[in-house]
């Protein structure tokens, strides 16, 4: 299925861009008229994925973060967050709750939060090449029911 609308944004892995990524995502998906909770879920999931690029992918340099937003007729929102950073050696281990390589300030919950606030999380990573996180969420489900 083709998206009915798409947006691509690239920004540097500066921490101030975490808020920027949430804001552009919220603005773009507002055309699907999400409920308050759905919007909060998506803002949180995007924040997690983008923060991981800033904190882990480029630990001691700045690099590009690629954000792709796709909206579909059936209410599906697809969000892709890609980096060209260090990559993840063992993705299934990294996705375990509480697993972190980050030290005292990180709780290792980013992937768990992404999983509980969206319908699907896919992670593709190649050490030394980078990581792509794809989030999918269906919105307006209940409001769509029963109409034509």
Ligand X SMILES: Nc1ncnc2c1ncn2[C@@H]1O[C@H](COP(=O)(O)OP(=O)(O)OP(=O)(O)O)[C@@H](O)[C@H]1O
Residue whose CB is less far from other proteins, 60 or 148: 60
The interface mask with ligand X, positions 40-69, x = CB under 6 A, is --------x---xx-xxx------------
Total interface residues for ligand X by CB under 6 A: 23
Count of C-beta atoms within a 10 Å radius of residue 133: 25
* Residue 78 or 112 with smaller CB distance to other proteins: 112
106 an active-site residue? yes
Distances from the Cα of 33 to the Cαs of 14, 71, 104, 130, in angstroms? 29, 12, 38, 33
Q: Residue 58: which of 78, 87, 36 has the closest Cα?
A: 87
Q: Which is nearer to ligand X, 77 or 81 (CB)?
A: 81
Report the nearest approach of Mg ion to the CB of residue 28 (Å): 23
48 is catalytic: yes
52 is a site residue for Mg ion (CB under 5 A): yes
> Does the footprint of Mg ion cover residue 131 (CB under 5 A)?
no
Among 16, 100, 18, which residue's Cα sits nearest to residue 51?
18
- Phi, psi dihedrals of residue 123, rounded to the nearest 5°: -130, 125
What is the token pair recorded at 12? 């540097």
| Distance of closest approach, residue 84 Cβ to other proteins, in angstroms | 20
């Amino acid at each position: 299925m083709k998206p009915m609308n798409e947006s691509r944004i690239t920004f540097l892995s500066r921490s101030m861009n975490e808020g920027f990524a949430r804001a552009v995502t919220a603005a773009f998906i507002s055309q699907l008229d999400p409920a308050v909770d759905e919007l909060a879920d998506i803002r949180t999931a995007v924040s997690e994925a983008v923060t991981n690029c800033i904190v882990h992918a480029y630990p001691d340099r700045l690099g590009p973060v690629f954000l792709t937003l796709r909206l579909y007729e059936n209410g599906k929102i697809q969000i892709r967050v890609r980096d060209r950073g260090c990559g993840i050696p063992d993705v299934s281990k990294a996705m375990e709750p509480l697993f972190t390589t980050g030290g005292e300030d990180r709780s290792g919950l980013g992937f768990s939060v992404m999983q509980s606030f969206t319908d699907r999380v896919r992670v593709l990573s190649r050490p030394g090449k980078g990581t792509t996180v794809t989030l999918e969420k269906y919105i307006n489900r209940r409001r769509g029911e029963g109409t034509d």
